[in-house]
Structure 1
């Protein structure tokens, strides 16, 4: 049975790093894994998505509309934008975090109100305050690894040696911080 995970966010949030750590862990656990990433205008705060599919034999990295088992969103408006990709019985993990896009910053658009309520109404969505957890760890940039921890726990993938994977794939000075972050993320999910 192939599982499909869609990770979405805004450029600079670490969506791609989280996807690469996830892919490495899944491969080391013996799964066939396919990953594709779309950067969009990521350098300018634009939308970024990464699709990870894993199982015994995976033919394609592409997740069709209504095909994702889980949607992990690093920014709440992105969750709403990508919600149509989630299976009806799928689950969403959403960072309760707002990043204003250029049209909003320029006054040409408004950030929608009631996003969290809409997400909970339309999907099995868990909204988590990852920004506060990252600040408690002393670095807002670890929101991505906290979300990865929440994903790992909710998918039942916590038996993989994530600590070693972080040690092998993260810059040395950030290893301890990221190990703490993935543990915090796992603790967010019951």
Structure 2
């Protein structure tokens, strides 16, 4: 009778029912509290809440095409990305959170054209584009993701720098580890391509 909210003049049967109702209510509240504990943590929340968290964190870019792991990684690093925005470290962290291994080459002009440097079609000797940079993705990237990444990289890049191209390549189809699925392609997304 101690767990009841009814006055003492009610029957013992009514007191037991009231206590049972109270236990069920408290059990319901405990379950809701357990679910709510992780709902704002992108690493443990239910997958259906990831899109809501993306809006709450005001991510600079988002796609339903990202895998669950990519979404969780991106959300987990979004606040830090916003802190280091405008640095090459932000670009590296962004690519890393989406599972893309990449190399960033800064400065588009080659110091000399005396044969010590090889022009790869993107680096031109003496063009004066010292603020330009190229991102070379070494892992296979679908075209839709490469297009989205180009826009996102431009958002996180240093203000005076200019993304000249996002170069991505695919491993050989006959490799055995990667299958041609029509999505993964090789190419260069430059300023004129997107």
Superposition TM-score, scaled by structure 2 size: 0.22
Larger fraction in helix: 1
Structure with the bigger RCO (C-alpha within 8 Å, sep 6+) is 1
Give the number of the structure whose alpha-carbon radius of gyration is greater. Answer: 2
Larger fraction in strand: 1
